[in-house]
Chains A and B, each alone.
Chain A
Protein backbone atom coordinates (compact mmCIF):
# COMPACT_ATOMS: atom_id res chain seq x y z
CA UNK A 1 0.00 0.00 0.00
CA UNK A 2 1.11 3.56 -0.65
CA UNK A 3 1.59 5.53 2.55
CA UNK A 4 0.84 9.24 2.53
CA UNK A 5 2.76 11.08 5.23
CA UNK A 6 1.32 14.50 5.85
CA UNK A 7 2.94 17.28 7.84
CA UNK A 8 2.55 19.12 10.03
CA UNK A 9 -0.31 17.45 11.90
CA UNK A 10 -1.42 20.86 13.08
CA UNK A 11 -0.49 24.47 12.46
CA UNK A 12 -1.49 27.66 14.23
CA UNK A 13 -1.75 30.64 11.95
CA UNK A 14 -3.29 34.08 11.74
CA UNK A 15 -5.60 35.55 9.14
CA UNK A 16 -3.46 36.68 6.23
CA UNK A 17 -0.68 34.19 6.86
CA UNK A 18 0.72 31.93 4.20
CA UNK A 19 0.26 28.28 5.14
CA UNK A 20 2.01 25.32 3.55
CA UNK A 21 1.08 21.68 4.08
CA UNK A 22 3.14 18.86 2.69
CA UNK A 23 2.40 15.27 1.79
CA UNK A 24 5.01 12.66 0.99
CA UNK A 25 4.12 9.43 -0.78
CA UNK A 26 5.96 6.21 -0.02
CA UNK A 27 6.54 5.68 -3.75
CA UNK A 28 6.34 7.60 -7.00
CA UNK A 29 2.71 8.47 -7.73
CA UNK A 30 3.40 11.01 -10.51
CA UNK A 31 0.58 13.55 -10.09
CA UNK A 32 -2.10 11.29 -8.65
CA UNK A 33 -2.78 13.43 -5.61
CA UNK A 34 -5.82 15.30 -4.39
CA UNK A 35 -6.34 17.68 -1.48
CA UNK A 36 -9.52 17.94 0.60
CA UNK A 37 -10.79 20.38 3.19
CA UNK A 38 -12.97 19.21 6.05
CA UNK A 39 -14.72 21.52 8.48
CA UNK A 40 -16.08 20.24 11.81
CA UNK A 41 -19.23 18.19 11.39
CA UNK A 42 -19.05 18.38 7.61
CA UNK A 43 -18.02 16.05 4.82
CA UNK A 44 -14.68 16.60 3.09
CA UNK A 45 -14.63 18.82 0.04
CA UNK A 46 -12.27 18.38 -2.88
CA UNK A 47 -10.04 21.41 -3.40
CA UNK A 48 -7.33 20.24 -5.78
CA UNK A 49 -6.95 17.24 -8.05
CA UNK A 50 -4.05 15.93 -10.11
CA UNK A 51 -1.64 17.67 -7.72
CA UNK A 52 -2.29 21.18 -9.00
CA UNK A 53 -5.71 21.50 -10.67
CA UNK A 54 -7.94 23.84 -8.71
CA UNK A 55 -11.50 22.61 -8.63
CA UNK A 56 -14.34 24.81 -9.75
CA UNK A 57 -15.39 27.35 -7.13
CA UNK A 58 -12.29 26.96 -4.99
CA UNK A 59 -10.66 30.31 -4.16
CA UNK A 60 -7.44 31.18 -5.98
CA UNK A 61 -5.57 31.51 -2.70
CA UNK A 62 -5.39 27.71 -2.67
CA UNK A 63 -2.75 26.08 -4.82
CA UNK A 64 -1.12 22.69 -5.14
CA UNK A 65 2.23 21.62 -6.46
CA UNK A 66 4.56 18.68 -6.66
CA UNK A 67 5.03 15.43 -8.49
CA UNK A 68 6.56 12.06 -7.83
CA UNK A 69 6.62 11.68 -4.07
CA UNK A 70 6.47 15.22 -2.65
CA UNK A 71 3.41 17.41 -2.78
CA UNK A 72 2.37 20.74 -1.29
CA UNK A 73 -0.87 22.53 -0.57
CA UNK A 74 -0.45 26.27 -0.09
CA UNK A 75 -2.94 28.80 1.19
CA UNK A 76 -1.47 32.14 0.17
CA UNK A 77 -3.43 34.35 2.54
CA UNK A 78 -5.39 32.52 5.21
CA UNK A 79 -9.00 33.58 5.60
CA UNK A 80 -11.33 32.93 8.55
CA UNK A 81 -13.26 30.31 6.58
CA UNK A 82 -10.07 28.35 5.89
CA UNK A 83 -9.68 27.12 9.45
CA UNK A 84 -10.30 23.42 8.94
CA UNK A 85 -8.53 20.09 8.56
CA UNK A 86 -6.85 19.27 5.27
CA UNK A 87 -6.16 15.81 3.87
CA UNK A 88 -4.16 14.59 0.91
CA UNK A 89 -5.15 11.45 -1.00
CA UNK A 90 -3.36 9.33 -3.55
CA UNK A 91 -5.22 7.80 -6.47
CA UNK A 92 -2.25 6.08 -8.10
CA UNK A 93 -3.23 2.63 -6.95
CA UNK A 94 -5.59 0.71 -4.70
CA UNK A 95 -6.15 0.91 -1.88
CA UNK A 96 -6.74 4.63 -2.14
CA UNK A 97 -5.03 6.17 0.86
CA UNK A 98 -5.22 9.45 2.71
CA UNK A 99 -2.72 11.43 4.69
CA UNK A 100 -3.28 11.75 8.41
CA UNK A 101 -4.59 15.30 8.13
CA UNK A 102 -3.41 18.79 9.05
CA UNK A 103 -5.54 20.88 11.35
CA UNK A 104 -5.21 24.59 10.64
CA UNK A 105 -6.03 26.46 13.82
CA UNK A 106 -6.40 30.09 14.75
CA UNK A 107 -3.33 31.58 16.37
Chain B
Protein backbone atom coordinates (compact mmCIF):
# COMPACT_ATOMS: atom_id res chain seq x y z
CA UNK B 1 0.00 0.00 0.00
CA UNK B 2 1.32 3.41 -0.95
CA UNK B 3 1.64 5.75 2.01
CA UNK B 4 2.81 9.33 2.27
CA UNK B 5 2.96 10.75 5.77
CA UNK B 6 3.71 14.41 6.28
CA UNK B 7 5.02 15.91 9.50
CA UNK B 8 6.59 19.07 10.81
CA UNK B 9 3.67 21.46 10.60
CA UNK B 10 2.59 23.69 13.43
CA UNK B 11 2.15 27.25 14.62
CA UNK B 12 5.02 29.54 13.67
CA UNK B 13 5.53 33.29 13.94
CA UNK B 14 5.83 35.45 10.84
CA UNK B 15 9.37 35.64 9.56
CA UNK B 16 10.39 32.33 11.10
CA UNK B 17 11.29 29.04 9.44
CA UNK B 18 9.83 25.55 9.43
CA UNK B 19 10.84 22.26 7.86
CA UNK B 20 8.26 19.80 6.61
CA UNK B 21 8.97 16.13 6.04
CA UNK B 22 7.18 13.42 4.11
CA UNK B 23 7.92 9.76 4.73
CA UNK B 24 7.03 7.52 1.85
CA UNK B 25 6.45 3.78 1.57
CA UNK B 26 4.84 1.33 -0.81
CA UNK B 27 6.60 2.33 -4.01
CA UNK B 28 10.13 2.77 -5.31
CA UNK B 29 10.69 6.32 -4.14
CA UNK B 30 13.66 7.10 -6.34
CA UNK B 31 11.75 6.22 -9.51
CA UNK B 32 9.44 9.22 -9.21
CA UNK B 33 9.35 12.97 -8.99
CA UNK B 34 7.72 14.38 -5.89
CA UNK B 35 5.73 17.51 -5.18
CA UNK B 36 4.34 19.73 -2.45
CA UNK B 37 0.88 21.19 -2.90
CA UNK B 38 -0.87 23.40 -0.37
CA UNK B 39 -4.42 24.35 0.41
CA UNK B 40 -5.29 27.40 2.48
CA UNK B 41 -8.27 26.88 4.81
CA UNK B 42 -11.46 26.73 2.76
CA UNK B 43 -9.59 27.50 -0.45
CA UNK B 44 -8.39 25.73 -3.57
CA UNK B 45 -5.19 23.89 -4.38
CA UNK B 46 -1.87 25.62 -5.02
CA UNK B 47 1.13 23.72 -6.33
CA UNK B 48 4.21 24.78 -4.35
CA UNK B 49 7.25 22.88 -5.55
CA UNK B 50 8.49 19.76 -7.30
CA UNK B 51 11.73 17.79 -7.45
CA UNK B 52 12.95 15.25 -9.96
CA UNK B 53 13.73 11.67 -8.96
CA UNK B 54 17.47 12.36 -8.69
CA UNK B 55 17.18 15.92 -7.28
CA UNK B 56 18.73 17.34 -10.45
CA UNK B 57 15.78 19.59 -11.10
CA UNK B 58 13.70 21.59 -8.65
CA UNK B 59 10.87 23.93 -9.52
CA UNK B 60 8.91 26.42 -7.44
CA UNK B 61 5.81 28.55 -7.54
CA UNK B 62 6.66 32.24 -7.77
CA UNK B 63 4.95 32.77 -4.43
CA UNK B 64 7.60 30.72 -2.62
CA UNK B 65 10.66 31.05 -4.85
CA UNK B 66 13.67 32.16 -2.88
CA UNK B 67 12.03 31.32 0.45
CA UNK B 68 11.27 27.59 0.18
CA UNK B 69 13.66 24.77 -0.66
CA UNK B 70 12.56 21.31 -1.68
CA UNK B 71 14.85 18.33 -1.20
CA UNK B 72 14.74 14.59 -0.95
CA UNK B 73 16.73 11.73 0.53
CA UNK B 74 16.20 8.66 -1.63
CA UNK B 75 18.03 6.44 0.86
CA UNK B 76 15.42 7.37 3.45
CA UNK B 77 12.45 7.57 1.05
CA UNK B 78 11.77 11.03 2.35
CA UNK B 79 10.82 14.40 0.93
CA UNK B 80 11.40 17.73 2.62
CA UNK B 81 10.31 21.33 2.35
CA UNK B 82 12.41 23.95 4.11
CA UNK B 83 10.33 27.08 4.49
CA UNK B 84 11.73 30.43 5.58
CA UNK B 85 10.51 34.02 5.90
CA UNK B 86 7.03 32.71 6.48
CA UNK B 87 4.04 35.01 6.22
CA UNK B 88 0.35 34.66 6.96
CA UNK B 89 -0.19 33.91 3.27
CA UNK B 90 1.73 30.64 3.77
CA UNK B 91 -0.89 29.36 6.22
CA UNK B 92 -2.22 26.18 4.67
CA UNK B 93 -2.45 22.43 4.76
CA UNK B 94 0.65 21.18 2.99
CA UNK B 95 0.35 17.95 1.03
CA UNK B 96 3.16 15.76 -0.16
CA UNK B 97 2.30 14.00 -3.42
CA UNK B 98 3.87 11.46 -5.73
CA UNK B 99 4.58 12.66 -9.21
CA UNK B 100 5.35 10.73 -12.34
CA UNK B 101 8.53 9.47 -13.91
CA UNK B 102 9.00 12.99 -15.18
CA UNK B 103 8.70 16.16 -13.15
CA UNK B 104 5.91 17.63 -15.28
CA UNK B 105 3.03 15.30 -14.58
CA UNK B 106 -0.06 14.61 -12.50
CA UNK B 107 0.28 14.09 -8.78
CA UNK B 108 -1.12 11.04 -7.04
CA UNK B 109 -1.47 9.79 -4.44
CA UNK B 110 -1.33 12.48 -1.81
CA UNK B 111 -0.61 12.33 1.87
CA UNK B 112 -3.10 13.56 4.44
CA UNK B 113 -1.28 16.85 4.86
CA UNK B 114 0.38 18.77 7.65
CA UNK B 115 -1.05 22.09 8.78
CA UNK B 116 1.15 25.16 8.87
CA UNK B 117 -0.25 28.21 10.65
CA UNK B 118 1.72 31.43 10.49
CA UNK B 119 0.59 33.82 13.17
CA UNK B 120 2.00 35.98 15.94
Contact = CB atoms under 8 A, between A and B. Distances in A.
Interface stretch (B14-22, B44-52, B69-77, B82-90): B44-52
B59 interface: yes
Contact of A95 (B61, B105, B112): B61
Contacts of B45: 36, 44, 87, 89, 98, 101
B44 A46 contact: no
Contacts of A45: 108-110
B95 interface: yes
Contacts of B105: 91
B83 to A, nearest CB: 17
Interface in A79-100: 87, 89, 91-100
B106 A87 contact: no
Chain B contact patch, size range = 20 to 34
B45 to A, nearest CB: 4
Contacts of A34: 106
Main secondary structure of the interface of B (DSSP, over half): loop
A43 B112 contact: yes
B107 interface: yes
Contacts of A95: 47, 59-62
Interface string A12-47: 000000000000000000000010100000111110
Interface of B: 35, 44-47, 50, 59-62, 95, 104-113
Interface of A: 1, 34, 36, 42-46, 49, 55, 87, 89, 91-101
When A and B form their complex, which 7 residue pairs have the shortest distance between CB atoms, in order from nearest? A46-B108, A43-B110, A96-B47, A34-B106, A98-B45, A94-B59, A49-B106
Given A43-B113, A95-B62, 13 more contacts: A1-B62, A44-B110, A45-B109, A45-B110, A46-B106, A46-B107, A55-B108, A89-B106, A95-B59, A98-B46, A98-B47, A99-B44, A101-B44
